[in-house]
Structure 1
Amino acid sequence: MSLKAVLFDMDGVIVDTEPLHRKAYFKTFDQLEIPVSEELYTSFTGASTKKVFETLISQFSLSHSHEESSAIKRAHFKDYFYNDEDFDLISGVRQLIEHYYDNGITLILASSATMTTINMVFDKFGLEKYFSGKISGADLKESKPHPEIFLKAAEMAGQPIENCMVIEDSTNGILAAHRAGIFCAAYKSFHTHNQDYSLANIIVSDYTELEVDKISKFF
């Protein structure tokens, strides 16, 4: 047994797109002239764009369809994605990715984001060359906390699960890794709130703690 593959979640692990989604949503709410409170916005955490606008359409009797509203929101998100000066990779993650790559470890991205968003991130930050494969949960039947995405990622890496490690930041992602029987490192940042790390094998708040020599004792 030794560490041969690392399966990365994306949002909250490689990039934090939440602030961009937030800005895009609120710009859309302004445009549609609907007063969405902080409390109402918070209640949408984890919901799909379609679900958010379906809720708002019934609550505010909007004349726009959820498709039209979602298209407006997506256009704003894209604009912020390419032009927002605060948007960058999470601190230390590029160094960690390069470190694994230089040590011959196979990297697979396993994210619930759509493949379009995954490709936008890889393209903007030049990550393509480091990863052997990418899986979008949006293309799978089951989503996290179901283990399917990580089992597929291990298969894509060509490694048995005991030679793999998942890096996750959310309750559902950690649970999915646990159910897949894969060693899970939880990344806890100052952005992270109300997530349950109890099923993670280790919890870190600095990516240097996940360097090969520091985690080899677990494998």
Structure 2
Amino acid sequence: MQELIRRNAPAAAPVSRSVRRRVLWKRDMGENMNQFRAVLFDMDGVLINTEPLHFRMWREVFHNRGVEIDYNGYKDCIGTTEEFLRELIWKNYGADFRKDETLKEDAMVIKKRLIAEEGFPKMPGVEEMLKNLYEAGFLLAIASSSSVSFIELAMDYIGVKQYFHVINSGENVAHSKPAPDIYLNTAERLGVKPEECVVLEDSENGSIAAVSAGMVCVGLLNPDSGNQNLERAKVVIRELGEFTPKLIGRLNEI
């Protein structure tokens, strides 16, 4: 009778490869993986390699206004907002565009032209990295200084928008990076505590913001983002393929 019951019992539902991988990863990582529930990403220079494009855009914008900017006078604004850049140009070049109402509109015209010519430069390995983290059970979010419309356009273009639970912009907070506002607000929207978040950043301003928010920061060394000081990051990687669930599970040991 027991043999008959066993033979006629319905077969167990097959376990998907992604679920099986998640179970094995949790077993291998032990208790460490329980600390981190969410991974927050800067976008420019991390998911898409747009910093060179942004510099060319702003150089043309200010050239059209009679000001020639160089990279050294621009680089401190990487990872921040347009308002921060206006203040930086005033400080470094003595040119006051802080109330220039057409600046943003002119910049968007140039940006759209450059994107139409070049597309969005996707960072190598970005889709595989996001897929692995998503399947490992992390909540994923973007916390970028770019506008919401630009973030969504870029993520749609490179085909990874579906991996993110929250897309957040510096437009939604009072203070831009290096203030921690964007990261604290994103954690709140995800429903997690700051100490449960890992941040991937390529800029000094972004790493300051992440650490000030009480989060663990991993730095991405992107040569196109300039000579950024990433000393506040717990670990620095050179390519997205290194940013894995296994690395996150070991951050407390580093």
TM above 0.5, yes or no, is yes
Query: Residue by residue, what CA displacement relative to the aligned partner does 1:137-182 show, whole Å, maximum 9, x if unpaired?
Result: 1221122122221122222222223322011111111111111111
- Equivalent pair of 2:52/2:224 in contact (CA under 8 Å): no
Distance 2:102 2:182 in 1: 30
Q: Which of these residues, 134, 146, 149, is aligned with residue 116 of structure 1? A: 149
More displaced 10-residue stretch of structure 1: 172-181 or 15-24: 15-24
Can you give the 5+ residue segments of structure 1 that lack an aligned partner in the other structure? none
Can you give the 5+ residue segments of structure 2 that lack an aligned partner in the other structure? 1-33
Query: Residue by residue, what CA displacement relative to the aligned partner does 1:72-97 show, whole Å, maximum 9, x if unpaired?
Result: 33212112123315x42111222111
Q: 1:180 to 1:24 in 2, by over 3 A?
A: closer
Matched, 1:68 2:98: no
| Aligned residue number for residue 51 of structure 1 | 86
The one-letter code of the counterpart of 2:116 is: Y
Q: 1:15 to 1:95 in 2, by over 3 A?
A: same
Aligned pair count reads: 211
1:120-135 → structure 2 map (5 Å cutoff): 120-135=153-168
Distance 1:169 1:53 in 2: 20
Q: 1:70 to 1:164 in 2, by over 3 A?
A: closer
Q: 1:176 to 1:23 in 2, by over 3 A?
A: closer
- Equivalent pair of 2:148/2:169 in contact (CA under 8 Å): yes
Once the two structures are TM-superposed, the CA of residue 110 in structure 1 deviates from its matched residue by: 0.5
Q: 1:84 to 1:216 in 2, by over 3 A?
A: same
The one-letter code of the counterpart of 2:220 is: Y
TM-score with structure 1 setting the length: 0.82
Q: Which of these residues, 217, 221, 224, is aligned with residue 188 of structure 1? A: 221
| Aligned residue number for residue 207 of structure 1 | 240
Q: Which of these residues, 82, 101, 113, is aligned with residue 116 of structure 2? A: 82
Distance 1:193 1:138 in 2: 24
SS in 2 for 1:75: helix
The one-letter code of the counterpart of 2:40 is: L
Query: Residue by residue, what CA displacement relative to the aligned partner does 1:20-56 show, whole Å, maximum 9, x if unpaired?
Result: 22333444466x3847253xx642341737828985x
- Equivalent pair of 1:44/1:52 in contact (CA under 8 Å): no
TM-score with structure 2 setting the length: 0.72
Distance 1:29 1:143 in 2: 22
Q: 1:26 to 1:189 in 2, by over 3 A?
A: closer
| Aligned residue number for residue 50 of structure 2 | 17
- Equivalent pair of 1:34/1:60 in contact (CA under 8 Å): no
Identity %: 29
SS in 1 for 2:224: coil
| Aligned residue number for residue 25 of structure 2 | none
More displaced 10-residue stretch of structure 1: 2-11 or 20-29: 20-29
